[in-house]
Structure formats: C-alpha cells, structure tokens
Amino acid sequence: MGAEKWVDIGPEAEFRVRPLTAVRAGGVALAIVCRDGEISAISGACNHVGGPLGEGRLEGDYVVCPWHHWKFHRQTGEGEPGFEADRVPSYATKIEGGRLHVDVNPRTPRHKTPHAPHPLARAVRREPGAVRVAGLSTTVMDRAHPRFSGSEELLGHALEHARTALGADTRLLRLGELSFGACEGYYSKSARACTWPCSITQMDPKDQLDQVYEALVHWADVVLVATPIRWGAASSLYYRMAERMNCIQNQVTTHDRVLIRDKVAGFIIVGGQDNVQAVAGQQLGFFAELGFLFPQFPYVAHSRGWTAEDMERNVEVLRTSRELREGAAALVERCTSLAARLLASGQAPARVARGGRKAHALASAEPSRGAAPES
Ligand code: FES
C-alpha cells in the first residue's frame, strides 16, 4: 500500500474517553475506535454515499454509519457479516510517548461491491405517447369500508374527462391504499444523507411510495392532486407524502439536478369548512419548489364555509353539482393544454439556473462538507 506515512493525531488519552472519534489527519478522514482498551482506525468515509463514520456509533465490533446504518468492522474495515467484501480502508496505529499515531497510507484498501441501481434512479426520459395525467387522491379513509369523498369524486371525474374527451393516458393513485412511512429526516443529518431515490424507498422493499415517485418523476406530464380540508389544512396523508418529496427537491441542492422538468400540476380542494386559499397557497408553493409549472387558474375548490357543519348536505352538494364536475374537467383541460404546449416546444434546457435555491448558491457548487471517500 505504499510507504508508511505516520501522523501524530494527539494524546492517546483523548481517544479513550469515548468509543468513536472523528479526526482528519494528513488530509484523510478517519474513525478512531476504542473498544476494551484497544485502539484501531478505519476510514471516516462510508462506502455508501460518504457518511461520516467517525460520527456514528459502535455496535459490538462494528462502526455504524450515522446516515443509513451500514456497518464496518472496527479493525479490518470489512462490511458486516454477509457484506464483508464491501469494505472501507483500515489503518495501522501506534502509541509513542503517550500520543496516538496513524499511518495514513491504508493497510487495506477500499472496496465497493457494485449494487444494482434502484429502478427509480434511471435517467428521466419522456417516452413518446399521449399526454399522461396522474391523479393523486390524498383523502384518508378506511378502504375496507369506503365512504364518499368529495375530492376523490372530482378527481375521478377529471381523470375520466382527460381520458375520454382529451385522449390522455391516466393513472389514479390513492395514497390511502399505499403503505409508506413518514420521512425520517435524513436531510436533518446532512443534505447528502437525503438521497434520490429516497433512502427509505431504497432500504425498505415494502415501501410503496415508489409508485408516487415513479408517476411524478418518470411517467406523468400532469399531476392532479386532490385533497380534503382538515382543520384548515390539506390531509395528513398529503403532508406525509410531501415530506417524502424532500429527496426530489434536495437533488437540486446536492447535485444541481432538476428531476421535475416541463411538468404541470393542478389541485382539487374540497372542504366541509373553509381555508381553501391557505391550502391552495401551500400546495402551489410546495409543487413550485419541486419544479412543477402551473396553468392559469391552477386549482378548483369547494367549501360551504365555516358554519357548514351538516356534512350530509356537503356530500349531497358534491354528488349532484354539475358545476363542480365541469370545473374539474376544465381544470384538467387547462393542465393538459399547457403540458401539450410544453411537449411540443421540445427539450427543456439542460440546466435551471439556481433551481431550488434562487438567491443562494447551490451546495453542489461549494466544496463538500461531507466526508468524501479518500481512496
Ligand atoms: S450508510 Fe453510510 S452513507 Fe449511507
């Protein structure tokens, strides 16, 4: 592994007060481990996406990455049992005069076992065909005992209109039928810990939000989001989904990569009580940050107002209102019309200047604050 290159990294006592210490020596990120009085050193940069191993935790003989919990042996750098070949460099250590020295030329090399990319990670390429409209129903209900949903009713009508009158391909996704967990806040560890595809989707084969990612990023030209108003806000399922969309927007921050291009969003908002404009405002702001475009008049909504507590009457209005159905149909016409114009105008520019960060510089344009693999 080349000539030895010993670096004094400080008093040995400092490395004995905790099981794991992150240091940088000779330009190399290291994780210094102390277990049962024995000191060892492995790389401080995880094989996965460069998580800071020295800031993780020690579990038995394994250093656990703080980002997505990959494990590496504290002495050999090998992956956990079954994944031994996926290894980070290990380093020789010695103590002289009460000080800890590390040979920063690795004793064993890094080896990354090739992992098949997640299907969502493929390049975003619009395949030929009719305009595609994905409907997202975010209402919460017991699907084994369904009830009438005004927002889903109007969404269904809009999709049928898109299919039968506009010749569009359509797809309906009901969030309530998908099993998916809440965002676990990888972004709060580091922007680079929040990955595309979503870290949860990559690690949990049962996660079904992949269907929504597939529709939004790869399939649809138009996304129609339907939500009820619950206590003045969109549904809880909408927010659970929205938080999981962080990984789409974060790609702009970390890789200057805009996943949503030339796609159109529209909204159907139905509440027994009021606050339509606040719900619309949140949705417009959020979908704009994802990269969606909007037609003129990008939402249709209905509410009988604060004092309308007679839900049976609200349901009756939704069931019978021709005006609301026509409004939903007109919304999808506005959306597909804009999508068709965008498709006809050809390839979008390769870059969106400061997309997602506007006035501020992109993190991807700055030197990485993460611990990039050094060998
Ligand atoms: S597990 Fe280490 S960066 Fe993902």
Identify the pLDDT of residue 373: 44
137 in a domain, yes or no? Answer: yes
pLDDT of residue 371: 44
What does the pLDDT profile of the chain (375 residues) look like in tens digits? Answer: 578 999 999 999 999 999 999 999 999 999 999 999 999 999 999 999 999 999 999 999 999 999 999 999 999 999 999 999 999 999 999 999 999 999 999 999 999 998 899 999 999 999 999 999 999 999 999 988 999 999 999 999 999 999 999 999 999 999 999 999 999 999 999 999 999 999 999 999 999 999 999 999 999 999 999 999 999 999 999 999 999 999 999 998 888 889 999 999 999 999 877 899 999 999 999 999 999 999 999 999 999 888 888 888 888 989 999 999 999 999 999 999 999 999 999 877 667 777 766 667 766 655 444 444 444
Pair 93, 192 in one domain: no
Q: Is residue 367 part of a domain?
A: no
Residues near ligand 1 with C-beta < 6 Å?
Answer: 46, 48-51, 65, 67-70
Structural domain boundaries enclosing 337: 119-348
Atom 1 in ligand 1: residue holding the nearest Cα: 68
132 and 258 share a domain? Answer: yes
| Same domain membership, residue 105 and residue 135 | no
d(CA 244, CA 187) in angstroms, rounded, equals 11
> Counting atoms of ligand 1 from 1, which one is nearest the CA of 70?
1
CB neighbour list of residue 220: distance below 8 Å, 6 or more residues apart: 132, 133, 134, 171, 263
Q: Whose CA is nearest to atom 4 of ligand 1?
A: 68
CA of 64 to the centre of ligand 1 (A): 9
- Rounded Cα distance between 85 and 77, Å, is 10
User: Is 353 inside any structural domain?
Assistant: no
Nearest atom (ligand 1) to Cα of 69: 1
Give the per-residue pLDDT at 253.
84
Q: What's the 99 CA to ligand 1 centre distance in angstroms?
A: 30
3 state DSSP class of 99:
strand
Length of the chain: 375
Closest atom of ligand 1 to CA, residue 65: 2
95 and 215 share one domain: no
Q: Looking at the structure, do residues 62 and 164 belong to the same domain, yes or no?
A: no
Whether residue 53 lies inside any domain: the answer is: yes
CA–centroid distance, residue 47 to ligand 1 (Å): 7
Q: Specify the pLDDT at position 308.
A: 84
Q: Are residues 211 and 64 in the same domain?
A: no
Contacts 24+ apart (CB under 8 A), 32-35: 32/93, 32/100, 32/102, 33/58, 33/63, 33/74, 33/75, 35/61, 35/74
Query: Residue 336 domain-assigned?
Result: yes
Closest CA to 214 of 131, 136, 328, 116: 136
> Which residues fall within 8 angstroms of residue 41, CB to CB, at 6 or more apart?
30, 31, 32, 33, 90, 91, 92, 93, 102
pLDDT of 368 reads: 45
pLDDT score at 80: 96
Residue 33 in any domain: the answer is yes
What stretches of 45-172 show up as alpha helix (H) in DSSP? 150-164
Residue 363, pLDDT score = 63
Ligand 1: distance of its center to the CA of 348 in Å?
33
Joined tokens for residue 252 = 């702009």
Whether residue 361 lies inside any domain: the answer is no
Number of domains, the chain: 2
